[in-house]
Each structure stands twice: as C-alpha cells, then as structure tokens.
Structure 1
Amino acid sequence: MQPAVLFDLDGLLIDSEPIWEAAKSEVFGAFGLHLTQEMQTETRGMRQRDMVAYWFKRANIQADPADIEDKIVNGVCDMLRDVKLMPGAEQAVAACARVSKSMAVVSSSPESVIRQALESTRLAQSFDVVFSAEDDEFGKPHPGAFLRAATTLQIPPDECVVLEDSLNGVLAGVSAQMAVIAVPDEDNRGDPRFAIASLILDSLEELDPGDIGHVLSTPTRAR
C-alpha cells in the first residue's frame, strides 16, 4: 500500500514559530497586549483568525480583528524569505516521497504563507497540493482540513499518514482516523497527551521511510 503523507508546516518543516511569535508580539504589542512565551504557546497550532479571536476575548484590544490578522500575516510573509528548514526536514520529505502515493501540506496557516514558505525553502515541487484551514468552518484540532485533503487526493483516511508537531495537529489527525507521527518541540516532549500518536520522534532527523508503513499497520495510537 502506498499512502498519502500529509505534512504540517510551521514548526515541523520550517523554523517559523519564532517568526510567528515576533510578528504577533509586534502587532499585539502596539495595542497594549504583550505576549509572553507562555502565552504564545497557548495558541500554537491555531489558525490566525482563531488565535486573534482567542486574545480578543482575553484582552481589551481596540482594533479590527481582521486588520490585526492581516498585519501579522503580512509581517510573517516578509520574514519567511529567510526562513530555515527544521533539522531533517529536507531528508524526511525526500524519504516520504519514495514510499508515498501522494504528498500534501495541510496547515493552519493562510495559503499565502504556505506558498511563500515552500518557495523560500525550495520544497514547492515536492508536494502535489497544499491545503490551508484558513477558510474552513473549523481549524485544528477539528479534522476537517485533513479529511478534505484525503477526499481531494482520493485516498481513504486510513491510508493517510500525518506528520505534526503541535498537539492541536495531532488531535486533528487522530480524529480524522489517520496514522499520526508526532514531532513535538523540546518544550512539549513530556506532554502525555502526545501518546495518542502512533509514533513520537524528537526530530525529523529520526524519521525512517519504514516508519510510514509501520504506523499504518499499528493497531494502537499509543507507543
């Protein structure tokens, strides 16, 4: 069986979390909301509209949420021109391409951010299609974006393997009834909730092509 492999983007393939954090800090800071590192972690993996709505509910921000979102996304796109790949990302993409039927990026980021990142890192040609949850009714941890990807690729969910770094993304992949390989960042590796993934890696450098077939045949989501 040749599966579809669905990659998240931010924090998994590209080292963009510092970029997002810098853009959010700058934009929200101008309106009196100063985000700490802990506060930034609270919204990791969310769509931008959901992240903006999250902070508007918790702070007195006198601004148009859509304007805040646009400023953050524009700032991120500008900084993505110099974005670096995460360790092992290029090799992992190449390895998955050899054992998969289709490859896609499924991200909470706007499509403009996804495409800018893939062009900047020269990974655009490695993927058959990209999916943004930007215009979905619900973002991750809702499984909608992953299910839409499977439908478009004409591959059943149980023949899809998801690679994710955030808990929201892992929850979305498991809810979609897909095999999930989690690659949490160092600060979150001890979170027991990641145990629902089929496989947990410290880095994409640890990914072996054989892992793709292994997680599809694993009867349990914990390891």
Structure 2
Amino acid sequence: MLKGLVFDVDGVLMDSMPYHADAWVKAFGEVGIHITNMDIYEIEGSNHKGVVDIIFHKAGMEPSSSDYEAFLKKKREYFLQNNRAEPFKDMPTCLQALKGKYKLAVASGADRTIVNSLMDKFYPGIFEVIVSGEDVTRGKPDPEPYLTAAGKLGLKPAACMVIENAPLGIQSAKKAGIYCVAVPTYLPEEKLIDADMVFTNHAELITYLYRLL
C-alpha cells in the first residue's frame, strides 16, 4: 500500500536547474574547466561531491580534498546571486492536497542551504522530511538518498513512490527498490526509460498525482 511520496526538487518541484547549471559552469570556468549547462543536466541529482568528481575526471583531472568544499561554497554563492527559480505551475496546490493523505519527503542532490531556502519559500510546512546532498555520504545514483528519505518517514521502500526527472535520480530510486515515475524537464523522454512510468509534462504528472487522492 502506498503511504509515502518522495520528490526530487530541481526539475520536479522547482524550475531551477538552469540556475544550478549556470552556477556550476561559472565555478568550473574559474579553474579552466569549460563545460555547458547540458553537461550538468546529464548528471542532475548528484550531490556536489559527485558533480566535482565527474567533471574533474572528464577533464582528466583529480580533485583535491579541499576542492569539494571550495566548489560547494562557490556554486552556492553563484546560485543564490542569480536564482530566479519558481515552482512548476499548480504543484504547490497539488502538494498541499497530497499532504493530508500521504507522508511527504524530498530528496535532493543540492546542498542544504539551497534546498531549505526553496522549500521554506515555496512549500512551507509541506514536507515531513528533507534530505539534501549534504545529508548523505553517497549521492544519486546510489540508493542512499531515497533509502534515507524512506527511513526518516518511517516507511519501507515498497510503501513509497519517487517522483524524478533525471537519469541518476531514477537509478537511485530503482536501486532502493522504490517505484519511480518521471517527468522530462531538461532532458528528452528517452533519457528516462528506466523509470516505471514517464509523463510527457508536468500537467500530466499533476493529473496523475491528484488521482492518487
């Protein structure tokens, strides 16, 4: 029986990934690593350590232990300076309705400061559990983020559903043994084929969520 819903944040609840990507592009550019927003969309869901590892390795470089904290601070600064993220249309109202029937959580790869600021501003009082990229040792595609969210809700993975929009997040959910639905936001639908169900857009996703009531 479905008892809990666990949402990714960026690209599912918030139209925010362009601002995350812009911040990463600027931060990496300062050390001579030139990437595009699409490079970040492809690895969306990974926490900051995972992003640094992936981008450094693609550039044939090895990050030092101090790089992780330095890039986290730079990326957070640039995101907060330029953030104009908004919730997807009708999503806050939908979540408010779901709150009465299901336990709700978010599991994001973004850092705690950013996740909390977005949830406090646009989804106040909605979520029982918030898992950020800093709350886990291994980010998506490892199952730890979604297992952590389910555990903090007091639920078994089989009693939960994950709502995602990115390949690494879908892999994380499936490895955790959780049913996963997905919506293409910044990547084409064919990138999300590992999900149990893929919607065409957010309007279809929201219609589906209301049916759960």
TM-score bracket for the superposition, by shorter chain length: 0.7 to 0.9
Q: CA–CA distance in 2 between the matches of 1:186 and 1:54?
A: 19
Q: Residue 25 of structure 2: SS of its match in structure 1?
A: helix
Relative to 1, partners in 2 of residues 1:204 and 1:157: Cα closer, same or farther, differing over 3 Å?
same
Distance 1:126 1:57 in 2: 38
Distance 1:12 1:152, change over 3 A: same
Residue 42 (structure 1) shift: 3.3
Q: Give the corresponding residue for 1:36.
A: 36
Could you say what secondary structure the match of 1:125 adopts? Answer: coil
Mapped partners of 2:114, 2:190: distance in 1: 29
Matched, 1:197 2:195: yes
Which residue does the alignment assign to 1:106? 107
Instruction: Tell me which residue corresponds to 2:18.
Output: 18
**Pairs aligned (count):** 208
- Between 1-10 and 32-41, the greater mean CA deviation after superposition: 32-41
Give the 3-state SS of the residue equivalent to 2:190 in structure 1. Answer: coil
Query: Shift of the alpha carbon at 1:27?
Result: 1.6
Tell me if structure 1 keeps the 8 A contact 2:105–2:129: yes
Query: Aligned in 2, Cα 1:210/1:120: closer, same or farther, shift over 3 Å?
Result: closer
Letter in 2 for 1:109: A
Q: Which residue of 2 aligns with 1:185?
A: 185
Give the secondary-structure state (helix, strand or coil) at the position aligned to 1:163.
strand
Q: When the two structures are superposed, what TM-score results if normalisation uses the length of structure 2?
A: 0.86
Aligned to 2:45: 45
Q: Which residue of 2 aligns with 1:83?
A: 85
In the TM superposition, residue 124 of structure 1 has moved relative to its aligned partner by: 2.4
Q: Indicate the SS of the match to 2:39.
A: helix
Corresponding residue for residue 128 of structure 2: 128
Please give the secondary structure, in 1, of the residue aligned with 2:134.
coil
Ranges in structure 2 where 5+ consecutive residues have no aligned partner: none
SS at match of 2:86: coil
CA gap of 1:210–1:119, structure 2 versus 1, over 3 A, is closer
Q: Percent identity?
A: 24
Structure 1 Cα separation of the partners of residues 107 and 99 of structure 2? 16
Alpha-carbon separation, structure 2, partners of 1:28 and 1:111: 21
Segments of 5+ residues of structure 1 without an aligned counterpart are 214-223
CA RMSD of aligned residues (A): 2.3
